[in-house]
Amino acid sequence: MNLQAQPSSSGQGQYRILREADLRDYLAGLPPVAAQLGGVPAGWSISEVGDGNLNLVFIVKGTSGGIAVKQALPYVRLVGESWPLPLSRAHYEHLALVHHARLTPKLVPAILHHDNPLALTAMELLEPHIIMRKGLIGGIAYPRFVEDISTFMAQTLFFSSDLALSAAEKKEGIADFAGNHALCKITEDLIFTDPYRVAEQNRWTAPWLDTIAAAFREDLDLHVAISRLKLKFMASPEALIHGDLHTGSIMVTVTETKVIDPEFAFYGPMGFDIGAVIGNLIMAYLASAGHERSPGDRAAFEAWLLETIEGVWTEFSRKFLALWRSEGKGDAYPVSLFTGEAGAARLETERQAYMARLFQDTVGFAAAKTIRRILGLAHNLDFEAIADEKQRAICEARSLRLVRTMMLDTPSFTTIGVVTRAAREVRDWQPDFANP
Ligand code: SR1
Ligand code: MG
């Protein structure tokens, strides 16, 4: 397995896991970064704050400002050294950040420095932003979110697709990210395979979900559905996707949204990103009952979540279609094949059909993203923060009931309104754990 980062033209350092003192010396040797921090290096405060599954994250503060430094570890942090992981993911994350910054500079952190051999990126410190998932657990609504995330997805997906690019540009893009296959393999295993079979690392809220987990392992209809989604993930290089666009990869205030952590980026199906956002909002909605202090005290927040789920799809779809109409200069759908009034009308019909297919993919992937967080290895704080395990299991069982239908009967979810209606209906369903 290749544990080395891609060769770098700058070549500032050999890989070593940075500790505080080492990082201080390293940053002191970078004049623009040192100037941004201000003061003397000995006075900088450095703390490791990473709570994700894979990397180290340091916050460094000086007299003038702060920065965030992310360093990839040569293994999966959540599991340990027994699960090696290539450092090259930092290279792909940097490439994706550059793509995002070019298209949506206000929606991503500014990159201050990147060192490939050290698998390290220094970025703007996002303050007072918090991880969106934590805000949602706290019942905070984010009025900018729909506008920002729909812009992020429409821009980054459309402009890396065949609708915008020449065939040559698109294939070069695919090649640039083709080496990120170890990160894809994590997704292929943890999302599309393990939750549906006996796998050592699976876990769920036992004993309440034991019967449901067993049923998911036996359900061949579900195995066909998840395998179709897996194939779509593996074999549909539609656009450069973020690849891990859950609410833990988004930092927010009530006035700003910043998308972070695109280390899983590769050319894949667009619905995987959109489904990640929608699936994670569904989980926030169905976990919300577990965070109530008194019955109904989060009703307004939950109504906002449902409106947000609807807004994410409708605004994404509107913006993506608008881009296609004005910037659809790629090699797919050649303009010369759709001339005149009849051609324009036919192309518009085709655009609507394309969006309908993309919506179906989105529904399926949203379901897959939810199931993996309840029955697989890496769980979501939305549910994990519910201390009463039976109450947590009730919220998780409701989620599984909804998304199992979304995965098995995807065509019946014709609009996003059908999804939110089904979510609202399952919100107060009481599972019978003896007869789930
Ligand atoms: C072993 S990595 C587990 C998960 O963490 C990342 O955030 C991705 O979602 C991955 O699937
Ligand atoms: Mg991440």
Q: pLDDT (tens digit, 9 = 90+) per residue, 49-65?
A: 998 899 999 999 999 99
CB 311 within 8 A of CB 153: no
Looking at residue 435, its pLDDT comes to 64
Query: Could you give the count of Cα atoms lying within 13 Å of 19 in the half-sphere of its Cβ?
Result: 1
| Model confidence at 212: pLDDT above 60 | yes
Q: Which pair of tokens denotes residue 180? A: 């990120």
CB 412 within 8 A of CB 226: no
Alpha carbon of 93 to ligand 1 centroid (Å): 14
CA 218 to chain centre: 28
E strand or H helix at 61:
strand 55-61
Phi, psi angle pair for 76, to nearest 5°: -75, 115
Looking at residue 3, its pLDDT comes to 39
pLDDT-derived band of residue 13, with 50, 70 and 90 as boundaries? Answer: low
| Average pLDDT rounded to a whole number, residues 338-344 | 98
Task: Map tokens 């918090």 to a residue.
Answer: 130
| Model confidence at 146: pLDDT above 50 | yes
A 10 A CB-CB count for 360 gives 15
Give the domain 20-124 fold: Phosphorylase Kinase; domain 1 (3.30.200)
Q: Which pair of tokens denotes residue 191? A: 């999302």
Rounded Cα–Cα distance for residues 391 and 412 (Å): 29
Domain borders along the chain are 20-124, 130-426
CATH of 130-426, one of 3.30.470.10, 3.40.50.1100, 3.90.1200.10, 3.40.50.11540: 3.90.1200.10
Looking at residue 326, its pLDDT comes to 98
Alpha carbon of 241 to ligand 2 centroid (Å): 14
pLDDT tens for 24-52 read 999 999 999 999 999 999 999 999 999 88
| Model confidence at 279: pLDDT above 70 | yes
Whether 20-124 shares its CATH topology with 130-426 is answered: no
Beta strands in 120-231 (DSSP E): 120-124, 130-131
CA–CA–CA angle 153, 355, 320 (5° rounding) = 35
| Average pLDDT rounded to a whole number, residues 275-279 | 99
A 10 A CB-CB count for 430 gives 8
Phi, psi angle pair for 232, to nearest 5°: -60, -40
308 closest CA partner among 283, 334, 278: 278
Looking at residue 235, its pLDDT comes to 98
| Sequence-distant (≥ 6) Cβ neighbours of residue 229 within 8 angstroms | 192, 364, 365, 368, 407
Site to substitute for ligand 1 among 53, 57, 83, 250, most atoms within 8 A of C-beta:
53
Beta strands in 138-261 (DSSP E): 239-241, 250-252, 257-259
**How does DSSP assign 236-292, residue by residue?**
---EEE-S--SGGGEEE-SS-EEE---TT-EEE-HHHHHHHHHHHHHHHHHHGGGG-
Rounded Cα–Cα distance for residues 180 and 92 (Å): 7
pLDDT-derived band of residue 362, with 50, 70 and 90 as boundaries? Answer: very high
Q: Which pair of tokens denotes residue 227? A: 């395998």
Alpha carbon of 434 to ligand 1 centroid (Å): 32
| Residue 387, amino acid | A
Question: Given phi > 0 = left and psi -120 to 50 = alpha, else beta, which region is 11?
Answer: left
Alpha carbon of 76 to ligand 1 centroid (Å): 9
| Average pLDDT rounded to a whole number, residues 343-364 | 98
Alpha carbon of 260 to ligand 2 centroid (Å): 8
In the 8-state DSSP scheme, what is residue 75?
E
274 closest CA partner among 99, 146, 101, 135: 146
Q: Name the residue at shortest CA distance from atom 6 of ligand 1.
A: 53
Site to substitute for ligand 1 among 190, 242, 261, most atoms within 8 A of C-beta:
190
| Model confidence at 246: pLDDT above 60 | yes
- High-pLDDT (> 70) share of the chain, %: 97
Which ligand has its closest atom nearest to the C-alpha of 76? Answer: 1
Looking at residue 436, its pLDDT comes to 58
234 closest CA partner among 283, 286, 196, 187: 187
- High-pLDDT (> 90) share of the chain, %: 95
